[in-house]
């Protein structure tokens, strides 16, 4: 938290990061949401005094959607909540109380947005309200994540690898839910057959030490690299240097990691969960596997490592998919702009 500024300006937009008291242990979510409200509301109220606004948009049903709904009621404005995946699939399932509050946010928010069709269906089942859920896919910066003018071998040297290394890449939080143990175990099955391969984890998380210990027990400490957290703008170098990007999550929306990798023309191996099958065309832009499986990722890795040309073709098709489906941030912004206008028009008519 000490590295996060209290306030900054990005592209002319002022960003404020309120601090709030958070009780540890994972069992006091309701109180933590109230603490979040008590910290955020005065900040938004003061901003509202200097320039009136009409919409509160919360990213995530819990805790942000719960807090956003309370603030919207206080200020008499409309609210939007975006369901992102972990909020409904994970946090809402931790207790009956959290599930009830999730349902309340979904029912009482003026507009619920889901980042995938699969997530919209889950939200609809929780509430029974199909009509109030709109699907807006999040975009990817295809300009930033473009490997077209980069040399893979040069980037390998830049990142500390020899040119003959074949990099299998994971980027994200090192938590069990991301399938990191399945990935490490799958790599242990194929690394003997493909001695030039290395597995690289980019990111940090609570499972890092356990993963390090597992790598050492398997004698793979020299073949499994923990590169740590990297600035977002540098991820393009890691994607481009890699041969395949793997994400074996148990639950997901439509992960940015996969979109960024696909934008860099990299084939992906991903668990067929959440909104991932809406993004990855199995056998064309990547390979889908069963969540929790080790054997299926092993077969997928062997297929791509045995036939590098197949991986190249999949990667090229993957970037085409992004273009064909208009998965860029401009389209995402336009879609949200239309949601805001629709809500304001409804509000105006109701007065």
The tens digit of pLDDT for each residue in 144-161 reads 999 988 999 999 999 999
Residue 351's pLDDT band (boundaries 50, 70, 90)? Answer: low
- Complete DSSP assignment for 43-82: HHHHHHHHS---EEEEESIIIIIHHHHHHHHHHT-EEEEE
| 14/306: higher pLDDT | 306
Class of residue 51 by CB neighbours under 10 A (exposed 0-12, middle 13-18, buried 19+): exposed
Query: pLDDT value at position 49?
Result: 84
| 160/49: higher pLDDT | 160
**What is the separation of C-alpha 221 from the centre of its chain, rounded to a whole number of angstroms?**
28
Question: Looking at the predicted structure, is the pLDDT value of residue 2 above 90?
Answer: no
When pLDDT is averaged across residues 154-182 and rounded to a whole number, the result is 97
pTM here is 0.91
């Amino acid at each position: 938290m000490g590295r996060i500024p209290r306030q900054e300006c990005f592209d002319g937009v002022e960003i404020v990061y309120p601090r709030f008291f958070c009780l540890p242990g994972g069992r006091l979510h309701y109180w933590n949401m109230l603490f979040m409200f008590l910290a955020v509301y005065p900040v938004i109220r003061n901003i509202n005094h200097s320039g009136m606004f009409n919409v509160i948009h919360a990213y995530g049903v819990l805790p942000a959607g719960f807090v956003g709904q309370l603030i919207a009621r206080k200020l008499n404005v409309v609210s939007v909540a975006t369901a992102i995946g972990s909020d409904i699939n994970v946090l809402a399932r931790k207790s009956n109380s959290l599930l009830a509050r999730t349902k309340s946010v979904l029912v009482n928010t003026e507009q619920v947005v889901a980042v995938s069709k699969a997530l919209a269906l889950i939200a609809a089942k929780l509430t029974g309200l199909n009509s109030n859920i709109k699907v807006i896919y999040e975009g990817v910066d295809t300009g930033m994540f473009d490997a077209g003018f980069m040399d893979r071998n040069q980037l390998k040297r830049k990142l500390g690898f020899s040119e003959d290394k074949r990099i299998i890449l994971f980027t994200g939080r090192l938590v069990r839910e991301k399938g990191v143990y399945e990935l490490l175990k799958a790599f242990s099955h194929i690394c003997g057959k493909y001695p030039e391969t290395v597995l690289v984890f980019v990111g940090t998380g609570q499972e890092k030490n356990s993963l390090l210990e597992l790598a050492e027990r398997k004698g793979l400490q020299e073949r499994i690299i923990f590169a740590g957290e990297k600035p977002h703008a540098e991820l393009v170098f890691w994607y481009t240097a890699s041969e395949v990007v793997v994400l074996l999550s148990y639950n997901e929306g439509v992960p940015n990691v996969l979109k960024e990798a696909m934008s860099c023309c990299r084939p992906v191996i991903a668990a067929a969960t959440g909104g991932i099958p809406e993004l990855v065309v199995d056998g064309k832009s990547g390979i889908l596997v069963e969540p929790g499986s080790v054997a299926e990722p092993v077969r997928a890795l062997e297929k791509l490592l045995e036939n590098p040309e197949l991986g190249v073709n999949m990667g090229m098709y993957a970037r085409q998919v992004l273009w064909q489906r208009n998965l860029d941030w401009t389209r995402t912004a336009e879609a949200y702009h239309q949601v805001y206008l629709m809500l304001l028009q409804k509000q105006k008519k109701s007065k």
